[in-house]
Structure 1
Amino acid sequence: MSPLKTAVVGSGYMGGGIAQMLALSGAQVALADVTAEIAASNYERLIAEARQFVADGLFPADAVERISSLVSPAESVEAAVADADFIEEAVPEKIAIKHETLRRISAAARPDAVIGSNTSTIQIGALAEAVDKPERFLGVHFSNPAPFIPGVELIPHQATAESAFALAEGVVQATGKQTARVNDSVGFVLNRLQYALFSEASEIVDEGIATAADVDRIVRTTFGFRLPVFGPFAIADMAGLDVYAFCYESLQTRWPERFATPPSLAAHVEAGEFGTKTGSGYLDVPADKTAELVAYRNRAYVAMAKMLAELGPAPLG
């Protein structure tokens, strides 16, 4: 069976990392940029990066050989996409640049080629305006650094065909990534949450409540410590949704609108659904599974603490 033919348009660090992942999954990758010279230079960079990743034990021993045999710099965007089954656009986060690039891609690609955009925040429906046959288009949002962050947002717009979504999902999952389907909205999920946290963290520093370094330390060593294992709804269910409701009431003594109790939380509490302790909440974990869940949580946190101790502190100065 011949390798899947893919193209990555935009050969910077995000595009290069995506190309590495596609190649390591066995896909053939054509790498394109504004000029053939830039594509060729960035190809050399991503090969050098792969060599360093192998030396650091981050990539398999044969990664350089696999990537160099499957990735090739293209003479142009049109040449890169002409025979591709799947195309990932990874150009700068400006709608005008993305529109121009997507017009070139959709004009030169096969009619059945699926096109993904690595946009971080721009609505997919707005980008789809530049795509011929927009039913084959969706958001495929990798995170930086693409080789090492395991989650990818898949964002269909109103006209995206299920067949296009399924192909993109298969391509991404073949790289070993975990995918989540997200409805089309500005910022999607990742950056809507990430920037909400940053805004609140910045206000805390601006108010003089804590320094930036201490805010980072608190996030890393408290609720952020939980996040690699559990998402916000699992954390809330385990803490107790009734407890969350009380905490919202406390926060409302200063910020009644900013920290208004979420309607879904109020509904759960009113129904007596307090999370794992009642066996019903956002995730409906059965009450008889609570002890097993708590034991898993504790093992996970101890394992994370050991891993962080082995890594040592980040070199932030």
Structure 2
Amino acid sequence: MMISKVAVVGSGYMGGGIAQVLALAGRDVVLADASAELAHSSRERLIREAADYGGRGIFPPDAADRVAEHVSASSSIEEAVADVDFVEEAVPEILELKHETLHRISGSCRADTLVGSNTSTIAIGTLAQAVEDPTRFLGVHFSNPATFIPGVEVIPHAGTDPSAVDRVVELLGECGKVGVPITDVTGFVLNRLQYALFTEAARLVEEGVATPEAVDLIARTTFGFRLPFFGPFAIADIAGLDVYDFCYGSLHEAYPDRFAAPTILRERVERGEKGVKSGRGFLATPAERAPELAAYRDEAYAALAALLRDLGPAPVDY
């Protein structure tokens, strides 16, 4: 069943961005918020934003007209969700508020309506406790800003019908997004990685190793420069898992309470699976593709460097 009509409950920055994404993909979107006035003002804001983005060339030229055509505002949550195929809840990260909102949504929508939550850290199984028929409920976590970040975490809880995952991933693909199904844990993947990085960055500043400016500069211009093209496992395979294992040894000796080689890394090294140079590591890139991989890497990094030069420095003050 194609998802053609959607309700977004919570029309703020994240919910509004999600509504724009869906509308530009031709879906009819109904906004709901704490009041009818707030939902209507959000709709007008989204149209103005789309016009601005279109004028800047980062949305299609007709984006404002498309958002105006496909986005409507409802007087209540119950009215908004009454006859839609999918509801995305995007209210603030307050458990009690999310429970109340999800209870209202699931009690007012059709029995076959899928219900998603844009929660960034709360376990989906915890939120599912408030949902009538939780088999149709799952996490659908967009990143900020939802309009431009392509990846979306899709998080079923233990009782989610697998078909719900398939339908949401298909919808996201049709909207130009990349839906990535993962297992339900607190923080999911994105924020566990993001906050692990921030924790170590904060420690470096606390220990006097570097200033916040220096940490940001190093992160952006070294390993962060690779991340648009290669994830952490691909980067490790390219570098060599035996090299990673050695580096973990040095880090563990200096910071035994913070660093230790992961078991899955050591097991692969012991089996001789050292990454691209051995033809297998965490991924299965054969050694004969190393020249092709290096050529792609070099062209990608050169293109990114050129883009950054064209854009100039971000307006961030330290």
Q: Within 5 Å, which residues of 2 pair with 1:239-254?
A: 239-254=239-254
Quote the residue 2:287 is aligned against: 287
**1:155/1:181 contact within 8 Å kept:** yes
Q: Secondary structure at the match of 1:277?
A: helix
Q: Gapped runs of 5+ residues in structure 1? A: none
CA contact (8 A) 2:81 2:109 kept: yes
* Aligned residue in 1 for 2:128: 128
| 1:55 corresponds to | 55
Partner Cα distance (1:206, 1:255) in 2: 15
Matching of residue 308 in structure 1 with residue 311 in structure 2 = no
- Deviation at residue 169 of structure 1 after TM alignment: 1.3
Cα distance in 2 between the residues matched to 1:212 and 1:48: 35
Q: What is the SS of the residue equivalent to 2:276?
A: coil
Letter in 2 for 1:194: Q
Partner of 2:219: 219
1:203 and 1:142, CA in 2 relative to 1: closer, same or farther beyond 3 A? same
Other structure's SS at 1:148 match? coil
2:112 is the counterpart of 1:109: no
User: What is aligned with 2:159?
Assistant: 159
Partner of 1:154, secondary structure, is strand
Secondary structure, aligned partner of 1:115:
strand
Report how far residue 122 of structure 1 moved: 0.4
Report the CA distance shift for 1:204/1:107 in structure 2 as closer, same or farther (over 3 A). Answer: same
Long gaps (5+) in structure 2: none
Aligned-pair CA distance for 1:3: 7.9
* Matched residue, 2:176: 176
Counterpart-to-counterpart distance in 2, 1:175 and 1:279: 36
Deviation of 1:173 (Å): 1.4
Q: What is residue 140 of structure 1 aligned with on the other side?
A: 140
For 2:26, the aligned partner's letter is: G
Moved over 6 A (4+): none
Q: Give the equivalent residue in structure 2 for 1:78.
A: 78
Q: Deviation of residue 254 (structure 1)?
A: 1.7
How far has the Cα of 1:60 moved from its partner? Answer: 0.2
Q: Deviations over 1:159-180 (max 9, x none)?
A: 1001211221122111100111
1:253 Cα deviation after fit = 1.4
Residues 64-122 of structure 1, C-alpha deviation per residue, up to 9 Å, x if partnerless? 11110000011000010000101000000111110000000000000000000000000
Alpha-carbon separation, structure 2, partners of 1:286 and 1:253: 33
Q: Is the 8 A contact 2:6 2:85 kept in 1?
A: yes
- In 2, are the aligned partners of 1:273 and 1:280 still within 8 Å (CA)? yes
Which secondary structure state, in structure 2, belongs to the residue aligned with residue 29 of structure 1? strand
Q: 1:265 to 1:26 in 2, by over 3 A?
A: same
Q: Which amino acid is the alignment partner of residue 149 of structure 1? A: I
Equivalent positions of 1:251-290 (< 5 A) are: 251-290=251-290
Question: Partner of 1:130: helix, strand, or coil?
Answer: coil
- Per-residue Cα deviation, 1:243-294 (whole angstroms, up to 9, x for no partner): 0000000001121232111000000111111100000100011111111001
- Paired residue type of 1:212: P
In structure 2, the partner of 1:119 is 119
Q: For 2:172 and 2:295, how far apart are their aligned partners in 1?
A: 32
User: Secondary structure of 2:254's match?
Assistant: coil
Q: What is aligned with 1:65? A: 65
Amino acid of the residue matched to residue 255 of structure 2?
Answer: W
| CA–CA separation in structure 1 for the residues paired with 2:24 and 2:37 | 24
Q: What letter matches 1:313 in structure 2?
A: P
Contact 1:3 1:26 in 2 (8 A): no
Which residue type is aligned with residue 116 of structure 2? G
| CA contact 1:137–1:156 (8 Å) conserved in 2 | yes
Q: 1:113 to 1:3 in 2, by over 3 A?
A: closer
Distance 1:209 1:110, change over 3 A: same
Kindly provide the CA deviation profile for residues 187-225 of structure 1, in whole angstroms up to 9, marking residues without a partner as x: 000000000000100010011100000100000000000
What is the RMSD of the two structures over their aligned residues, measured on CA atoms?
1.2
* Aligned partner of residue 160 in structure 1, secondary structure: coil
Structure 2 contact 84–110 (Cα < 8 Å) conserved? yes
Q: What TM-score comes out, normalization by structure 1 length?
A: 0.98
Q: CA deviation at 1:186?
A: 0.4
